[in-house]
Chain A
């Protein structure tokens, strides 16, 4: 599928294809030796399972985090979903349908993990629809051209995988297991995005301009996906510290962002795309790329609900859900009737 000169399929292109994923996915169960005390399990880097005792705050934090993650997958279907009917080739159309389908699937794996904590999916969806729970702000940006499908795969999925690979080692078992599956499947998402841009950058002038424009628009929002700075001064008072102690979070936002930049810069060069940051340069001393300041005002503005597509995304989601209400009710009614019929049959027999 990723033939000839595109890129060596054995060369890692995203965090799910590195040793970090294998290490995170591998997990040694030592519960026998440690017992079932929450703090002892956490201290020993063991998994907490649904019926284990756990502090309420741990449970609540997880429900919020997993739900937001699930919502992001579901809302994340829209920016690309709106290109399915317009994909410029049948091969791209098939890939895009499969990808948007995966996003639905990932949302379901995650809702399923959240439900093990004693919350109903419908409750979580209600909170999404009412604006009480958030999703990743990145999906409040519009997909203006076909190249945006490439930029989303390459940058947004690349950043998402970078965020998610450490979560394969998350202390909560069902979440960690969902992440292992999600990361494995998402690796294809990032590759197909890279491939779209690769093809465009080797195409006509108009195609190249399209690819560059998309990268220009998605680069900074992708960097903001890792969340506000949380090291040094900024670490005080944030969620990061507690989440790290609980093994829900493994690296700081800043660490992951740096890793992402370090991984993407060479890929951009390979693509022939210029990343829109004049301050981007290799720092020999740090052994990392330096990069410019993220516009956090914009980040907070979008997060507060004032991004280009906030209203549209929720409205779309709510409409689909509301328009489907009579279908879901019908299925419930039919199931109830069938139960009654079976009971009658049994009592008659």
Chain B
């Protein structure tokens, strides 16, 4: 152990978040997490843990510590301001019903 750098002790491998693309054309979706010593191993563990039934065609792993998440307490200031910009949605617009391809 003398050549092991500081901090490399038993106390658990880091946590990785796993995202799987179910099939071509779909986005990667978060499916869970796992522990692995490094990214290479995390990817392979993710394959064995989360795609045993051919659930995926592509996997991302991200160190959980590297995910920055918005906080529920910031929810109002983060997301509510978009609420009144209803002109961003196509349904906002009144158009004659007989116009094609709209």
Touch between A and B in complex, CB under 8 Å? yes
Q: A53-B72, A115-B15 are in contact. Are A333 and B5 (CB under 8 A)?
A: yes
Q: In the complex, A112→B42 CA distance in Å?
A: 14
Q: In the complex, A53→B9 CA distance in Å?
A: 33
Q: A332-B8, A336-B5, A336-B8 are in contact. Are A112 and B71 (CB under 8 A)?
A: no
Task: Flag whether B4 is at the interface (Cβ < 8 A).
Answer: yes
Contact B37 A332 (CB under 8 A): yes
Contact A328 B13 (CB under 8 A): yes
Task: Flag whether A18 is at the interface (Cβ < 8 A).
Answer: no
Task: Flag whether B89 is at the interface (Cβ < 8 A).
Answer: no
If over half of A's interface residues share one DSSP class (helix, strand or loop), that class is named, otherwise mixed; here it is helix
Contact A325 B5 (CB under 8 A): no
Contact B13 A332 (CB under 8 A): yes
- A53 neighbours in B (Cβ, 8 Å): 72
Contact of B10 among A112, A185, A328, A338 (CB under 8 A): A328
- A233 neighbours in B (Cβ, 8 Å): none
Within 86-131 of A, Cβ neighbours of B (below 8 Å) are at 98, 101-102, 105, 108-109, 112-113, 115, 120-122
* A interface footprint on B1-30 (CB within 8 Å = 1, 0 otherwise): 101111111111101000000000000000
Contact of B34 among A52, A108, A331, A333 (CB under 8 A): A108
Q: A102-B52, A122-B11 are in contact. Are A338 and B34 (CB under 8 A)?
A: no
* B interface footprint on A322-339 (CB within 8 Å = 1, 0 otherwise): 000100110111111110
- B72 neighbours in A (Cβ, 8 Å): 36, 49, 51-53
Contact A105 B7 (CB under 8 A): no
Contact A329 B1 (CB under 8 A): yes
- B9 neighbours in A (Cβ, 8 Å): 329, 332
Task: Flag whether A6 is at the interface (Cβ < 8 A).
Answer: no
Q: A101-B52, A333-B5 are in contact. Are A112 and B75 (CB under 8 A)?
A: no
- A185 neighbours in B (Cβ, 8 Å): 53
Task: Flag whether A178 is at the interface (Cβ < 8 A).
Answer: yes
The residue of chain A having its C-beta at the shortest distance from the C-beta of B79 within the complex is A32
Contact B10 A325 (CB under 8 A): yes
Contact A334 B38 (CB under 8 A): yes
- A108 neighbours in B (Cβ, 8 Å): 32, 34, 49
Q: In the complex, A149→B92 CA distance in Å?
A: 60
Q: In the complex, A102→B1 CA distance in Å?
A: 35
Contact B12 A336 (CB under 8 A): no
Contact B32 A109 (CB under 8 A): yes
Task: Flag whether A34 is at the interface (Cβ < 8 A).
Answer: no
- A23 neighbours in B (Cβ, 8 Å): none
5 more contacts with CB within 8 A, not counting A105-B49, A338-B38, are A49-B72, A185-B53, A331-B37, A332-B37, A333-B5
Contacts A/B (CB < 8 Å), 20 sampled: A36-B75, A51-B69, A108-B32, A108-B49, A112-B34, A121-B12, A121-B15, A122-B11, A185-B53, A328-B10, A328-B13, A329-B8, A332-B4, A333-B1, A333-B3, A333-B8, A336-B5, A336-B7, A336-B8, A338-B38
